[in-house]
A and B are shown apart, each in its own frame.
Chain A
């Protein structure tokens, strides 16, 4: 996958909680990436096997809304995105980013 600012930002947001569930809207807010860029990226990550997806359990929803789709990082995804961040750290193109992930 091409290393872009958006990919690095999404990688940072995902790796802030590497074992947790990530939701589309929250992820886009957290990463600061428009949904028009993020959703196609999530699809590519699913195709690559970096993410798995699932649907929220309807029994656990308290509000009146449909179940949401969540994304979880796979082991491969953790490795790959970790490598993306490692490379991006030493890349001058990404110097301006706000590095949150250690």
Chain B
């Protein structure tokens, strides 16, 4: 914890923050607005508002937009993703569901096993190990869903 504090409060970090927020607020803002869905007018709105903010206040204003982007933009994206996931799940037949569940369980077991072996070899700490596992599982789950969607659309095309 102390190391983290020292890293955050160190001079290089402060200089980097000043450099990024102070000299390139437009660039940082353009990255932040990517949190919004492509069709959201807030993307264009925030960028155009930047030019009306006095130069001296821009770094702080851009930093404030991080909060807006996280809470509004990501929330929109998350709710859209959940809606689409639920739609997909409803569209799956009982056999599809069983296949997805079985596939996911097998892949997750493999990831846990491989992760455990690699973690043991590399002597990872518990936090790093668990973090890496969670990331791997998320990527895997997204992969499973995407594969399933692709498979279903291919099946629908064949039916046509």
Binding site for B on A (CB under 8 A): 23-26, 34-36, 39-40, 43, 53, 63, 65-69
Contact = CB atoms under 8 A, between A and B. Distances in A.
Given A65-B48, A66-B51, A68-B52, A36 B41 contact: no
A13 to B, nearest CB: 16
Contacts of B65: 35-36
Contact of A25 (B42, B52, B68): B52
B64 A35 contact: yes
B27 to A, nearest CB: 15
9 contacts: A24-B46, A25-B53, A34-B64, A35-B61, A40-B68, A40-B71, A53-B41, A69-B44, A69-B49
Contact of B42 (A23, A34, A39, A68): A39
Contacts of A34: 64, 67
Interface of B: 41-42, 44-49, 51-53, 61, 64-65, 67-68, 71-72
Contact of A36 (B45, B49, B52, B67): B67
Contacts of A26: 52
A34 B41 CA distance: 19
A35 B33 CA distance: 14
Nearest to A53: B41
Contact of B48 (A36, A39, A43, A68): A68
Contacts of A68: 45, 48-49, 52
A26 B71 CA distance: 21
Contact of A65 (B52, B61, B71): B52
A39 B72 contact: yes
Contacts of B72: 39-40, 43
A66 B42 contact: no
Contacts of B47: 66
Nearest to A63: B51
A25 B67 CA distance: 15
Pick from B42, B45, B53, B61 the residue with the most CB of A within 10 Å. B45
A38 to B, nearest CB: 9
A12 to B, nearest CB: 21
A75 to B, nearest CB: 23
Contacts of B44: 66, 69
Contacts of B52: 23, 25-26, 65, 68
